[in-house]
Structure 1
Amino acid sequence: MLNDSITILEQIISIVLGLFSTYIIFYFMSSLKRNLYYKKYVYVFGYIAFTVVIILAGTFCGQFAGFLINIVAAVIAGHFLYNNKKIYIFYYGIFIVLLGCFQIVVSYLFNILCQQFNINFYSVNTFIITNSVVIQLANLSAARLGIVFYRRKKLEMITTVQLLNFLVLPVFSMFYSTTLLMYIQTYMSLEDIILIIVNIISIIALNVYITNVFEAVSNNNKLKNELMLYDEQAKMQYEYYNNLESKYKSSRKIIHDIKNHMQTIEELYEQRENEEAKNYAEDMYKMFDRFVQKYYTSNRVLNIIINDKLSKAEQFNINMNCKIGDVDLDFIKDIDLTTVFSNLLDNAIDGAKNASEDKSIFLKVDRFNDFIVINLSNRADREPIKVKENFKSTKKNHKGLGLENVRMTLNKYEGNMRIDYKDKVFKVNIVIPVS
């Protein structure tokens, strides 16, 4: 009876682990960039079909053949259900290969731990099942970390608390599952079988649930960040057009008095007051310049951002020189343009406003071959703090996330950013390939 119970337990857990293994692979593929979206039943069918193929391959094929089938099945599922770009065939395939290598390492470490701590199991099959549970729980954590690195978040950005969130539950689950399956050697009844199966399924379900919770929290934080950027963008646009309206009203008053101004200049010339007439005309030109909204680029959003930051720079007596070439930035989303240029110019203004001399900012955007090149430099008396390869803000209670947000945004367009500080000048150089 005991042997039959263990056989039933092993078969049921094998099926559960097969479903869990498929979930991990589908979770990874769905978390990458997608260009295919179907109704839910299509993914349910694909999930079941993929699981059946993997279970059959594991049952009737050797390890190597089963592994190859796993790779092919994952590539087919990913290509037809998530993203049909050719490069993603490589991503899906390499993920399965890396996952296979990771499983070998985890299995080896688990064997060593069992030997070191004298952990024994009722049978070899029970050990294999326990090993499989540990491997799949480790795979889920590896897949989550893989997604983090795929999205190119720097390791430094993962705090200790976040790292514990990745590891605490899986490690506890491995320990709990191992302990639970160790004690089936003592006594097994039908009730024990049911309880063990329920416990194993509950542990797996809890890991899946927590993974989805973390994903939801991450997406929520991303949406909050985007909403803040949209709010900043809307505020800049409002101030931009409000400023335009204000200047338009003021210019109407000037135009109304233009006849009087012209008559005054004519009278000064008639009276041979040439120098006064010239000065009066120059004063009029300066007055007209105040009502002209500067035009830097055909990109509406970038033009608004530069005008907004120029107005802010003038408040601190900063000379801001902008040269925007004939570049097409339409392939970059408005929200991403806001992230890049707002953060860069805000940092430049913060640095230049405290400069003892030559409070200046220089921005140049142009195209060089198949690349958009952005050069920004500003005076900064205070040298920024450099941690490893990253510069951190010197402002109190400021974590320097602005440049990191810029870097993460550039990654979406395969862009690169280089930062340098020398001779009291802070320089940022950005290169973005034209898509």
Structure 2
Amino acid sequence: MLRFIGVICSCIVNGYIFWETMGALYERKYSSRKLYIGVYTLYVIMNTCTAWFGIPQLNVVISMITLYGISKGLYKVQEKNILVNSGVIIIYLAFVDIVVTVAFSTLLQSSTYNILADSKYFLVSGIGNSIIVLCTYKLVIQMLQRCQINSISKILHFYMIFLMIFEFGILCYFVKHEIAQENNMPLLLASLGVVILDAGVIYLYKMLSKEAILEKKTELVEQQLEITQKYYEGLQDNYEKMRQIMHDTKKHIQVLCDLDGEYKRNYEKELLSSITEIQPQFQCSDKIVCVIIWNKMQICEQKGINFEINMQDITFDFMDRTEITALFANLLDNAVEACESSNDVQKKIVLRIHSFKEYIVIKMRNTIGTMPKFNEGKLVSTKNGHLGVGMTILESLANKYYGNIDYEYSDKCFETKLILSAYISADKG
């Protein structure tokens, strides 16, 4: 009975790890949640039957084939990603199983064979394996996503490691001091209790993470609304300017009609030159990006900042609209504010956007008046009482889209280099 409970517990946890890992790495092909629950339930049943034979090699092979099949059949993913990710997950689970069994046998001063043969030891070893997997699988997911581990998740992982050691010690104490058959119930209750405790902590962490994500999305929406309001205000100004231009154009046409010869040709050149100056200096099919950059160019012109741009005609349709707004609004707002703080006569912003294979590279160099500040290796705002949320958003977008963000600076110039993968985001794999 105890051996069966140990096998069931390990297989259910493995199924849960597969569920969580696949959901974090890949985008689902189908919308039916029942389909996925059914497939993972079948895997747990099959894994339980395989594990009951006690042949680790067979269990590893079947788990690898099953995981590959689930990834290929139920999720949108590249072939090379399936092989690498599936291999890492299986190796991780097998490694934890081996380490727990060896560590448990060492603590109890017994052989590995005795640990696996004794039903009570087997149960505690299986529970210990489940505890360690539940406490560490998030690290494996983040490694596969190639994401930076933020400060909140670091605290959780340290806490879970402490909890893992504490719980494992309690189980070892029960096994060492409660050998009689009639004392199986306290051991069983303690084993189930630690699993429920770990699952509860993980559930609370997931709820807090969802709340943090919603707060960030709300902030992005508010930022987009602010940009939209500025855009429509700018449209009103542009409408008035266009009325003035139309009025002036009528006068120019009347003058051209009255001129002839060399005077007419010179006047035409001057008129064409002035029209060229008010045309956009870049080509962009992405309307949101175009609006934001054009708006910032107008602001720079008003503030006496030279804005130079060189970009390929790239669309950012792989990103959400709120993310596009947050990316370019924060990037350019930071540059404008940095230029305003400078005492240089020639203030300048240089923006370069181009694609390289499946990546989009954004480089921006701007004049600065204050040296940047860093805290624990991260760039923070130099303004008093300012949390530097915009910089945090840029870093989170770089992480989400399999990219990175780097900074270089001197006493007069600051350069930001942002790389994003246009293929797929880390949230979807």
Task: Give the TM-score normalised by structure 1.
Answer: 0.77
CA distance in 2 between counterparts of 1:396 and 1:165 reads: 33
Give the aligned residue type for 1:140.
L
Shift of 1:91: 0.9
Aligned equivalent of 1:56, options 49, 58, 63: 49
Partner of 2:204: 213
The residue identity in structure 1 corresponding to 2:407 is: I
The one-letter code matched in structure 1 to 2:225 is A
Question: Hey, what's the Cα distance between the residues in 2 that align with 1:404 and 1:124?
Answer: 52
Once residues 61 and 12 of structure 1 are traced to their aligned partners in structure 2, the CA distance between those partners, rounded to angstroms, is 14
Matches within 5 A, 1:261-276: none
- Which amino acid is 2:192 matched to? I
- The equivalences for 1:223-242 within 5 A come to 223-242=214-233
For 1:219 and 1:29, how far apart are their aligned partners in 2? 18
Per-residue CA deviations over 1:170-220 (Å, capped at 9, x if unaligned) read 44443444444444325626xx62x54444334323322332332232133
Which residue of structure 2 lines up, in the alignment, with residue 273 of structure 1? none
Match of 1:405 in 2: 393
User: Secondary structure of 1:382's match?
Assistant: coil
Spell out, residue by residue over 1:271-297, the C-alpha distance to the aligned partner (whole angstroms, 9 max, x if none).
xxxxxxx9xx99xx79xx99x888753
Contact persistence 2:288–2:324 (CA under 8 A): yes
Query: For 1:330, which of 298, 317, 327 is the aligned residue?
Result: 317
The answer for the alignment partner of 1:384 in structure 2 is: 372
CA displacement at 1:145 relative to structure 2: 1.7
Q: Are 1:309 and 2:296 an aligned pair?
A: yes
Check the 8 A contact 2:339/2:347 in 1, yes or no.
yes
**Residue 73 and residue 327 in structure 1: after superposition, are their counterparts in 2 closer, same or farther (change >3 A)?**
closer
Q: Which consecutive unaligned segments of at least 5 residues does structure 2 have?
A: 260-266, 424-429
How much has 1:235 moved relative to structure 2?
Answer: 2.1
* Number of residue equivalences: 405
The structure-2 alpha-carbon separation of the partners of 1:64 and 1:368, relative to structure 1 and needing over 3 Å to count, comes to closer
Instruction: Establish whether residue 91 from structure 1 lines up as the match of residue 89 from structure 2.
Output: no
Distance 2:29 2:163 in 1: 32
Residues 39-92 of structure 1: per-residue CA shift (max 9 Å, x gap): 333233322321222222222252222222222222223333344542224312
- Is 1:36–1:84's contact at 8 Å kept on the other side of the alignment? no
Q: 2:39 aligned with 1:46, yes or no?
A: yes
Aligned CA distance change for structure 1 residues 254 and 75 (closer, same or farther; 3 Å): closer
1:145/1:295 Cα in 2 relative to 1: closer, same or farther (>3 Å)?
same
Secondary structure at 1:327's aligned position in 2?
coil
Rate the CA distance shift 1:314–1:414 in 2: closer, same or farther, 3 A.
same
CA 305–168 in structure 1, closer or farther in 2 if over 3 Å, else same = farther
TM-aligned CA deviation for residue 104 of structure 1: 2.5
RMSD between superposed Cα atoms in Å: 3.9
Write the distance in 2 (CA, Å) between the matches of 1:103 and 1:69. 16
Among 390, 413, 418, the residue aligned to 1:425: 413
Which piece of structure 1 moves more, 396-405 or 298-307? 396-405
Task: Identify the match of residue 121 of structure 2 among 94, 117, 127.
Answer: 127
- Helix, strand or coil for the counterpart of 1:188? helix
Q: 2:337 aligns with which of 339, 344, 350?
A: 350
TM-fit CA distance, 1:361? 1.3
Q: How far has the Cα of 1:423 moved from its partner?
A: 4.9
SS at match of 1:155: coil
Q: Which residues in structure 2 correspond to 1:369-380 (within 5 Å)?
A: 372-380=360-368
Partner of 1:104: 98
Residues 97-128 of structure 1: CA distance to partner in whole angstroms, max 9, x if unpaired?
12212332344444444559xxx99x943223
Change (3 A) 1:264 1:74: closer
The one-letter code matched in structure 2 to 1:94 is V
CA drift of 1:339 comes to: 3.1
- Is the Cα–Cα contact under 8 Å of residues 147 and 399 in structure 2 kept in the other structure? no
| Aligned mate of 1:366, from 343, 354, 367 | 354
Aligned residue in 2 for 1:201: 192
The separation in 2 between residues aligned to 1:369 and 1:29, in whole angstroms, is 26
Q: Distance in 2 between matches of 1:319 and 1:346?
A: 14
**Higher RCO (Cα < 8 Å, 6 or more apart):** 2
Q: TM-score, normalised by structure 2?
A: 0.78
Deviation at 1:96, TM superposition (A): 0.9
Runs of 4+ deviating beyond 6 Å: 256-259, 261-266, 292-295
Q: Which has the larger radius of gyration?
A: 1
Q: Which runs of 5+ in 1 are unaligned?
A: 1-7, 270-277
Counterpart of 1:5? none
Determine helix, strand or coil for the equivalent of 2:362.
strand
| Equivalent residues of 2:2, 2:119 under 8 A apart | no
- Cα distance in 2 for partners of 1:368, 1:23 equals 38
